[in-house]
Amino acid sequence: MRWSRLFVPTLRDAPGDAEFASHKLLVRGGFIRQLQSGHYSMLPLGFRVHEKVTQVIRDEINAIGGQEMSLPIMHPASLWQASGRWDSVGDELFRLTDRKGADQALAMTHEEAFTSVFAEVSSYKQLPMIWYHFKTKLRDELRPKAGLLRVREFVMKDSYSFDVDETGLDVQFQAHHQAYSTIFSRLGLDALPVQASSGSMGGSDSIEFVVPAVAGEDDIAICRSCDYAANIERATSQIAAVDDGAGAAETTRFPTPGVRTIAALEEVDGGAPADRQIKTLVMNLDGELTLVLVRGDHNLVEQKLIDHTGAVVAEPAEADAIRAALGASPGSLGAVGVSGLRIIADPALQGRVNMTTGANEDDWHLSGVDVDRDIAVDEWVDVRGVEAGEGCPNCGQPLELVRAIEVGHIFKLGRKYTEGFGITVLDQNGKAVVPIMGSYGIGVGRAMAAVVEVHHDDNGIVWPTVIAPFEAVITVVKVKDEPSMQLAEQLYAELQAAGIDVVLDDRDARAGVKFTDAELCGIPFRLTIGPKGLESGQLEFVTRTTGDKQDVAIADAAALIIDSVEGSR
RNA sequence: CGGGACGUGGCGCAGCUCGGUAGCGCACCUGCUUUGGGAGCAGGGGGUCGGGAGUUCAAAUCUCCCCGUCCCGACCA
């Protein structure tokens, strides 16, 4: 490829609305352009990287027996109705109506579609199956952000495994686990496998691969002493018991004028420290008001609540609804004596006495609350967010919280879809069994962005060779100098013949411009050809990762590049 | 959905307070000089000032509505 013919619109300044390194650099380097919020065009360089990331993933999924195919993006509503997700996924699913009036869905994942194809498989002898495709997904995200990191339209590799039994599923799950580790490592990502919530997909074992980075959107609890790592949506911890003293015989109402917050209740006469208060949250779970109780200094993790209840929508209840149900406004709420509402409480409250909470009357609170005695808890459920420094659930050592980008997710789907679609295969005994599924995804564009987040410097992107838009660039300092161009053409041909993905920078521009662009775009190796080098017989060879410059004899240049590229693939 | 900010040539910005018919840097085109780290000089092209309505003799500027984009929050009782 000749740079003079390439469309690489590099920019000196990043767009003003770009915040994160990957966003800025991918735009500045001419890799991507935004069409609208959450939708990006892949320009030639971006597309090259995207294709290379795709190929790495393809290699590794093929290596574990994956069969690549390609399923549609537009699905009939009936398919999603059959799985129940037409109603359960909410507004994230793009829906449209065709001219015949038929409802259609734009796929956000392909569980249903793959399962429908699987209906033709009828014998255990054909199992296991690992099927996958690279396909554009559409999701009406609440808030697209950070360039390629969170978008509404993106290509995902999603694979699905089908097995006769759990043991088989375990094998596929482990195979994917291993394949993902290899993929991310080849991409230059230190991806950490962490326990995760399986969200609306349903399923049991769920592991996310995350890359620690400031641009991330996930909080991960990590133990440095053992191998515990979990998404905050799933993480648990050991916490010290709180000394409540002796329990009171009965609750006491006391006035708390103007007190609306946990902090204020700590200060007021008759108040209590946060860890001896009960925080009463009124949540609207698919229209049903539910009281969720956590310790005053704890935070609710909505995902935990959703995972437990299966609710589609979980949001704080409206103030009006709260007042109608409990007779008071937020700030004075409590669960003591409440009946007729579902009450979910965090285990950190179990057995606690002498607690303080709202009295369900504005400006009044209760003290001396004995949780087991005074509150009709329906379910004890861990809904609390862990905090940094709390004890690891495995070894008790302090947990650390880190921001991370989720780059991959594997989980055991179970039989939700096969069962829902009435799919069975015959086992060895001729008996019909419902196959069990696994589901495994990697977002290609997000992986790209994650690589940039981790691999860049002041001069631009530093791509790992395997996914760099080009493996090497031959920079011709003075294009009009005949001997320079002649040598460049010769080396260019030689490298291409050797299978090197090389670009010849033959633009009639100043050397500095070409050097800067090569660095911004992150091309791993650069050979500079100019009159100076021709005269001395030594060409300059630069390695992007280290910035190291070395002189190489003209005759040795090709071999050096080939070795360097091959050694870093 | 709530809160905040922003919207002026491809990119980055000024102009808006105090209305008078649009400017700077980069990029682009032509010429000359230059040429090993984002060249210099000269000339040139390109803008419905996000859109609509209103106020006014006159609107990028003031008012209202809408749209778009970015950030924060999505819960702290």
Q: Is the CB of A403 under 7 A from strand B?
A: no
Q: Is the CB of A283 under 7 A from strand B?
A: yes
Distance, Å, A353 CA → B72 C1': 38
Residue A519: which nucleotide is closest by CA–C1'? Answer: B37
Count CB neighbours of A429 within 10 A. 7
Residue A259: which nucleotide is closest by CA–C1'? Answer: B77
pLDDT at A540: 94
Q: Is the CB of A144 under 7 A from strand B?
A: yes
Amino acid at A496: Q
Q: DSSP of A501-554, one letter per residue?
A: -EEEE--SS-HHHHHHHHHHTT-SEEEEE-HHHHHHTEEEEEETTT--EEEEEG
**What is the block-wise mean pLDDT of chain A (569 residues), using blocks of 10 residues?**
91 85 93 90 94 96 95 92 83 86 90 93 92 93 87 94 93 95 95 77 74 87 86 80 76 80 77 82 80 84 79 75 76 78 84 83 83 82 84 85 90 89 92 93 94 93 96 93 92 96 93 94 95 91 94 94 95
Residue A279: which nucleotide is closest by CA–C1'? Answer: B77
pLDDT at A15: 82
Backbone phi, then psi, for A230, in 5-degree steps?
-150, 145
Residues 442-461 of A with CB under 7 A from strand B: 459
The conformational region for residue A307 under phi > 0 = left, psi -120 to 50 = alpha, else beta, is alpha
CB under 8 Å to A26, separation ≥6 — which residues? A32, A46, A147, A148, A448, A449, A452, A461
Residues A512, A498: Cα–Cα separation, whole Å: 28
Report CA A68 to chain centroid distance, whole Å.
23
Structure pTM? 0.88
Distance, Å, A260 CA → B3 C1': 21
Residues A245, A353: Cα–Cα separation, whole Å: 8
Q: Is the CB of A331 under 7 A from strand B?
A: yes
Distance, Å, A198 CA → B75 C1': 21
Q: Is the CB of A320 under 7 A from strand B?
A: no
pLDDT at A369: 82
Residues 25-64 of A with CB under 7 A from strand B: 28, 34, 36-38
Q: Is the CB of A281 under 7 A from strand B?
A: yes
Distance, Å, A16 CA → B49 C1': 18
Nearest protein residue to the C1' atom of B73, measured from CA: A143
pLDDT at A236: 80
Q: Is the CB of A328 under 7 A from strand B?
A: no
Tokens 């607690």, located at residue:
A355
Residues A209, A196: Cα–Cα separation, whole Å: 9
Amino acid at A382: D
ipTM associated with this complex: 0.88
Nucleotides of strand B within 7 Å of the protein's CB atoms: 1, 6, 10-13, 25-27, 34-39, 68-77
Residues A485, A321: Cα–Cα separation, whole Å: 77
Q: Are A75 and A107 in contact (CB under 8 A)?
A: yes
Q: Is the CB of A300 under 7 A from strand B?
A: yes
Residues 517-556 of A with CB under 7 A from strand B: 517, 519-520, 528-534, 539-540, 542, 549
Residues A59, A51: Cα–Cα separation, whole Å: 12
